[in-house]
Structure 1
Amino acid sequence: MSAGTALAQQPPAEVVYYGFDPDIVTNYVSENRRSLGYLRVSVELMLPNKELLKTIEYHEPLILDTIIGILSKQPEQRVKSLSGREEIRLQILEQLQTVMKRETGQTIVQDILFTKYLYQ
């Protein structure tokens, strides 16, 4: 059996997504300092299997606190740029993996997606 055939016979990797309801709404630091910017995001966590859903549900308050904490400290130019948005996404992913490793012994979160990203 060739390596290609062996790979074709393996079942696809199971991936599960966990979303937060309602959307995450927070403020960010506006450049003019007289007003706060407003940010509304929908976040989906990518998990390696459905057995981890209960763990994520249990730690949801900690996860939301981590996400909101990072979003609320972002400067306006980072929030409003595409490259900044990707930097924020990666920062949240890294921090969530660190927090979940500390709490559960596993990184659990494979990736995160912003399915809605609105700012004003």
Structure 2
Amino acid sequence: MFKRCYALLIIVPLLIMAPKSHAAYAYFGLEPDIVTNYVSNSSRNLGYVRVTVELMLEDASFLEAAEHHAPLLRATTIDIFGRQPEEKVKSLTGREEIRRDCLQKLRQLMKQETGSEMIKDVIFTKYLYQG
């Protein structure tokens, strides 16, 4: 009995003083899906890609700002995909590079526009290509 009380006296204050790891992430989808052409190996054919993009925001309070800047976020994402070569669009490692490029560029834009990077991550939930 004494050991239990002693353990509670030590553990409870530690739990109270521990920093909160509770994250209030929010998700914002760029609607509708991103559909754009990409640079194909042959100049005669254009490929296209269709991607569903979800933005993981650092806090739910950023949802309003993300909605306000959605046209800028969409245009930037479309621009990034439109400049990619076919090999990059079709490979898994290339897809990851594109995702990181989007994350870096969107964070940079939000820092300029709002003073906060606000975007924790960029997630591609659907990724289709043809070309």
TM-score exceeds 0.5: yes
Counterpart of 1:59 in structure 2 is 69
C-alpha change, 1:9 and 1:95, in structure 2 (3 Å) is closer
C-alpha change, 1:81 and 1:104, in structure 2 (3 Å) is same
Moved over 4 A (4+): 1-4, 6-9
Counterpart of 2:101 in structure 1 is 91
How many pairs align?
Answer: 120
Which protein is bigger by CA-based radius of gyration? 2
- Aligned mates of 1:113, 1:86 — CA distance in 2: 10
- Aligned mates of 1:91, 1:7 — CA distance in 2: 38
Counterpart of 1:49 in structure 2 is 59
- Aligned mates of 1:9, 1:85 — CA distance in 2: 36
- Aligned mates of 2:17, 2:26 — CA distance in 1: 21
Q: How many percent of aligned residue pairs carry the same amino acid? A: 50
- Aligned mates of 1:55, 1:17 — CA distance in 2: 12
Q: Deviation of residue 119 (structure 1)?
A: 0.2
**In terms of mean alpha carbon deviation, does 15-24 or 108-117 score higher?**
15-24
Alignment of 1:33-48 (within 5 A): 33-48=43-58
CA contact (8 A) 2:59 2:118 kept: no
From 32, 54, 69, give the equivalent of 2:42: 32
1:25-75 deviation digits (Å, cap 9, x = unpaired): 000000011011010000000001111111001101110111000000000
Uncovered stretches (5+) of structure 1, i.e. residues with no partner: none
- Aligned mates of 1:65, 1:9 — CA distance in 2: 38
Q: Deviation of residue 98 (structure 1)?
A: 0.6
SS in 2 for 1:22: strand
Q: Deviation of residue 6 (structure 1)?
A: 4.9
Q: Deviation of residue 11 (structure 1)?
A: 6.0
Q: Deviation of residue 4 (structure 1)?
A: 6.8
Instruction: Give TM-score scaled by structure 1 length.
Output: 0.92
- Aligned mates of 1:96, 1:78 — CA distance in 2: 20
Cα RMSD after superposing both structures: 2.0
From 32, 46, 69, give the equivalent of 1:22: 32
From 68, 72, 78, give the equivalent of 2:78: 68
